[in-house]
Structure 1
Amino acid sequence: MTDTADLPTTPSLQEHVTVLDGVDIHWDSRVLEPRPWTVEQSRWAAELAGTDAPEGPILELCAGAGHIGLLAARASGRALVQVDVDPVACEYARANAERAGVETDVRCADLTGLDDAERFPLMVADPPWVPSAEVTRFPADPLRAIDGGEDGAFLVRACLEQAGRLLQPGGHVVLQIGSDEQLALVSDHDLVVGGRLSLVEARYFDRGVLVHLRRADEV
């Protein structure tokens, strides 16, 4: 088991613990603070995992400290693959999952780092979705974790591309975005317009929007 002391910390950093659905999530200021409302993303994914999602592990993209995928996997009993480009986030995701007794395979890589041959029944993603011009509104948040480019949707689009590439037929994705404008961009994405992904439902919360998309059933 990974001990907290093994995490890449310095004396000037204070580690915090946020309790979400009864699970201790450890983090520090180098990663995005786990927001309590995002537990709804975990719960939605776990609900889909228990209905018609195919067999297999949950894939979490832009995992950060890893709590969204961790809670979904814990509630559903599924294994977990987590991907983040930030080594500090990857260490926290790995350690948080180990403490919670959740099996995870953490990949420290960008979104193109997954093998084309891999397929997943269920994906969750919390990409950075704050437009670059607005990131100064959130000085406590790490820039890499929130800056989504000019319209806030640069990595949102990248997550959709990975959903089209990596989801099994009939698989699901629960994606976090920030606004109606970004929801329109999701609706207009080539994979949605072309039918490879279908937009099933959007749910609104005080701090963001969750979107459920489903992969077409064709082999």
Structure 2
Amino acid sequence: MSTRLVETMPFGHLTIAYDGSVLSPRPWTVRQSELAVEVGARSPVGPVLELFAGAGQIGLLAASQMQRDLVQVDVNPDACAFASANAQAARLDVAVDVRCGAPESVLDETERFPLIIADPPWVPSAEIARFPKDPALAIDGGADGLDLVRHGLDVIRRHLAAGGHAVVQVGPDEQADTLVDEVVAGGGLDAVATERYERGSLVVIRRSPSVERG
């Protein structure tokens, strides 16, 4: 964990610690946790996978309300340290496994998850200067803001279980429409719901119970 000033913030019923090395929790993203719980009720049993976990608040809040074990993945060692510390502080009655590295490096090819949560960086590179308090690693989504969103979608295609759901956060503009189009074009998955907010959008992706990755 970094040596910057550590702050805390309520996130649902949890208290989340973070500092300037990670993205501060956004209160509106409690909705992503709530939506994951809703679609989790229609998903098979099994653990939750959280991609781009940051300080871990979205996955921790969701897992705590479903009693599902949780695997959290992030490439930032500081984020992984905070995710681990926040899980310990929350005293959750579930197993939390924080894995630091790229998803393709820390997930076994055979692992399947009935529920996946993803909050990838989605700010276009040319616009990140507008957010000087946010670490670039946590917000820079490439030229159109969707480089890491597409990476997350690739991981979802590989690891989402049959009958499972994924809840993906993107920007508040046309990014949600682009993601839906790319989900449909790639085959094997369906985009079944989109919720739009002032600060971002949430897209729910589903894999049919009869469709498994080949």
Task: Give the equivalent residue in structure 2 for 1:156.
Answer: 149
Contact 2:51 2:152 in 1 (8 A): yes
1:43 aligns with 2:37: no
Paired residues, what number? 208
Task: Give the equivalent residue in structure 1 for 2:161.
Answer: 168
Task: Give the equivalent residue in structure 2 for 1:212.
Answer: 204
Quote how far apart the aligned CAs of 1:47 are. Answer: 1.5
Quote how far apart the aligned CAs of 1:194 are. Answer: 4.1
Ranges in structure 2 where 5+ consecutive residues have no aligned partner: none
Matches within 5 A, 1:26-41: 26-41=17-32
* Distance in 2 (alpha carbons) for counterparts of 1:179 and 1:195: 25
Contact 2:195 2:201 in 1 (8 A): yes
| Identity within the alignment, % | 51
Quote how far apart the aligned CAs of 1:197 are. Answer: 1.0
Ranges in structure 1 where 5+ consecutive residues have no aligned partner: 1-7
* Distance in 1 (alpha carbons) for counterparts of 2:207 and 2:88: 30
Task: Give the equivalent residue in structure 2 for 1:89.
Answer: 79
* Distance in 2 (alpha carbons) for counterparts of 1:210 and 1:136: 24
| Among 88, 98, 104, the residue aligned to 1:98 | 88
Matches within 5 A, 1:56-205: 56-102=46-92, 103-113=95-105, 114-189=107-182, 191-205=183-197
1:21 aligns with 2:12: yes
Contact 1:17 1:26 in 2 (8 A): yes
Quote how far apart the aligned CAs of 1:180 are. Answer: 3.5
* Distance in 2 (alpha carbons) for counterparts of 1:9 and 1:151: 30
Contact 2:112 2:161 in 1 (8 A): yes
- Specify the code of the residue in structure 2 equivalent to 1:147: D
String of CA shifts for 1:160-187, please: whole Å, max 9, x gaps: 1111100001110000000342123212
Quote how far apart the aligned CAs of 1:14 are. Answer: 1.0
* Distance in 2 (alpha carbons) for counterparts of 1:75 and 1:198: 25
With 193-202 and 166-175 compared, the bigger mean Cα shift is at 193-202
* Distance in 1 (alpha carbons) for counterparts of 2:90 and 2:51: 19
Q: TM-score, normalised by structure 1?
A: 0.92
* Distance in 1 (alpha carbons) for counterparts of 2:13 and 2:176: 31
Contact 2:176 2:202 in 1 (8 A): no
* Distance in 2 (alpha carbons) for counterparts of 1:196 and 1:159: 15
- Specify the code of the residue in structure 1 equivalent to 2:198: D
- Specify the code of the residue in structure 2 equivalent to 1:145: A
Q: TM-score, normalised by structure 2?
A: 0.94
Quote how far apart the aligned CAs of 1:195 are. Answer: 3.0
* Distance in 1 (alpha carbons) for counterparts of 2:190 and 2:45: 20
SS in 1 for 2:89: helix
* Distance in 2 (alpha carbons) for counterparts of 1:46 and 1:95: 23
Cα RMSD of the aligned pairs, angstroms, is: 1.1
Task: Give the equivalent residue in structure 2 for 1:3.
Answer: none
